[in-house]
Structure 1
Amino acid sequence: MAQIILFHHARGLTEGVRALAEQITAAGGHTVHTPDLFDGHVFATAEEGLAYVEQMGRDEFMTRAMRACAEHKEASVVAGISLGVMPAWKAAQTAPGFRACIALSAALPLNAYAPLWQPHTALQIHLAAEDPWVKEEDLPAARAYAATAEHPDNPADLFEYATDRHLFMDSSTEDHDPELTEVVVQRVVELLA
């Protein structure tokens, strides 16, 4: 079974993020670590959480995330939701040992933190096709990654969901969609198998 690090979104380590981790564990028997990068702060809106990140500093945010990776050296999979995709992506590109990166509700350029994506690291991206938070260039870029995956053993997989709900996988938000969450969990478990 895999050990997974799941980084939370801008609202913080919500009950919905914890519930998603529990669903992945229940479905596949995997261990999911959910480091709290906000020291217990949970915010009602993403804007409040992003203001908190600006106050602490983006460098400090990323430092906390990389520290969490170092604390969970047994983890072979890194994942993130929205804002949490940034540290997940960085860890997948710069920290040795990760075999997969799962990006929920965000995507970055393949060369965001290193010149090339590591060929041994599978990439799975989940995006709401009508998500107002997803940058205009993210969806076409993610489609290009999936279409031109150079390593057939570890392809980039993109899953698009017909919704405009940004945090549809977080049961503690108004965006939650339980049916889509089940689909996400099943696809994550299939990747880890």
Structure 2
Amino acid sequence: MNVTLLHTAYGLTPGTRAFAEQIAAASGGELTMPDFYRGEIFTDQDSAMGHLEKVGYMELYSRLDGLDVTDQILVGTSLGASFAQRMVTQGAKPARLVLIGNVNPHKPERPWPGVDTQVHHFTQDTFVDPALVATLGQAVTASGARFEHVPTEGPGHLFFEPRLPEYDPDLTARTIQQIVS
């Protein structure tokens, strides 16, 4: 199955590229990695968040206009997870949505469109609110779609990024298998 991965606020880093390539290889499909940062890569959170604030969330999101993820695995990582979830609520039809390290508030007045969804995160990830995960899970299951919540005990945010202290190659490998199965 084809895979589209939306990157974090750090940009399309070598670690993110490697993670995406591993998912695509495991799925046996083609890979799309839109670079909505247009080549910018950041190595620290302050610079990454500063870029996001300078350019603006909606401007960055608009750079994904026209991206077709129909019948694909759509993987969003951190900022990319926010964009991926937003895309699905606005009509995108991936076969599966995978959110890593971020979940947006789900508006109850807007029914979930029946897309199977996985949420992966550390239990002490400051970017993930457990109440938002629970609300999303209720909306997904109410739509008749499958919801998988995969929390991992401990602190951290991006377990697939080798340059960060929370990098966990075993967790990365397990996550890839869960995404493609």
TM-score by length of 2: 0.89
Alignment of 1:54-93 (within 5 A): 54-65=53-64, 67=65, 70-72=66-68, 76-93=72-89
| DSSP-derived class of the 1:123 partner | strand
Aligned residue number for residue 5 of structure 2? 6
**In structure 1, what residue type is equivalent to 2:142?**
E
TM-score by length of 1: 0.83
Aligned residue number for residue 133 of structure 1? 127
Contact kept? 2:106, 2:135, Cα under 8 Å: no
1:117 paired with 2:112, answer yes
Moved more, 39-48 or 75-84: 75-84
Query: Residue deviations 1:159-178, cap 9 Å, x none?
Result: 00112121111224332110
Inter-partner Cα distance in structure 2 for 1:183 and 1:47:
29
Aligned residue number for residue 142 of structure 2? 150
Inter-partner Cα distance in structure 2 for 1:106 and 1:64:
20
Alignment of 1:23-34 (within 5 A): 23-34=22-33
Aligned residue number for residue 36 of structure 1? 35
Let me know the Cα RMSD of the aligned residues. 2.1
Identity %: 25
Inter-partner Cα distance in structure 2 for 1:172 and 1:27:
23
Inter-partner Cα distance in structure 1 for 2:126 and 2:56:
25
Contact kept? 2:36, 2:63, Cα under 8 Å: yes
Contact kept? 1:15, 1:172, Cα under 8 Å: no
Query: Residue deviations 1:132-180, cap 9 Å, x none?
Result: 333xxx213313543672244x222110011212111122433211011
Inter-partner Cα distance in structure 2 for 1:96 and 1:178:
31
Query: Structure 1 regions of 5+ residues with no counterpart?
Result: none
Change (3 A) 1:118 1:74: closer
Aligned residue number for residue 46 of structure 1? 45
1:166 paired with 2:157, answer yes
Change (3 A) 1:94 1:3: same
Contact kept? 1:78, 1:92, Cα under 8 Å: no
